[in-house]
Amino acid sequence: MDTEMIKKLEKAMLYAKEPEQVIFDKFDVTFKGDYRQHYYRGDLITFERVLATKIAAFDLVGSEFCVEAKDGDIIFKAISESLSLELSVEISFQNVEMLTSAFLNTAIGQLYRDFSEEKIRALVKVVDIADADVALLRRVIETAKLYYKDPAWLEESVRRIMGEDE
């Protein structure tokens, strides 16, 4: 063992005996769950903390095809749980080959029913999504905002367009 390593070990033993010499300013912790990762970033001086959840759609759905509304509901519940706890959420679509509006309406669109647009904008981040799917996601979000603003008006508009009378 070289002398530098011995000095480091001696210093570490000293700090272990005198913990008051060690001062933590900041630290980051990641808890890795089966399908989600939870992050804790702490600033011990101000007691500020930032908590986040990373949701991997591929892992939660179990497929590269995110097409069914029932699968979207799995993602929706995971996001809703985090938002209810004021946690930021990163949704990754890495390894997802196909997204449909049915999936996105359920996974993302109905968030606008339960949470404010401001909260969603502040706490939800979508990553690793194909360019073509970004356009679809934007349409889903705009439609959801319209629908949840006044569901009766939108439903009536659709009935008129489809030529359905009550």
Confidence class for position 159, pLDDT limits 50, 70, 90: confident
DSSP state of 99: E
Integer angstrom CA distances of residue 127 from 130, 133, 146, 152: 9, 11, 24, 33
Residue 111's nearest CA partner among 72, 139, 150 is: 72
All structural domains of the chain with their residue ranges: 56-162
The reported pTM is 0.67
- Tokens linked to 59: 């892992």
**CA dist., res. 158 & res. 110, Å (int):** 19
pLDDT, averaged across the chain: 83
Report pLDDT digits (tens) over 67-95. 999 999 999 999 998 898 888 899 999 99
Q: Strands 98-99, 26-32: parallel, antiparallel or unpaired by DSSP?
A: unpaired
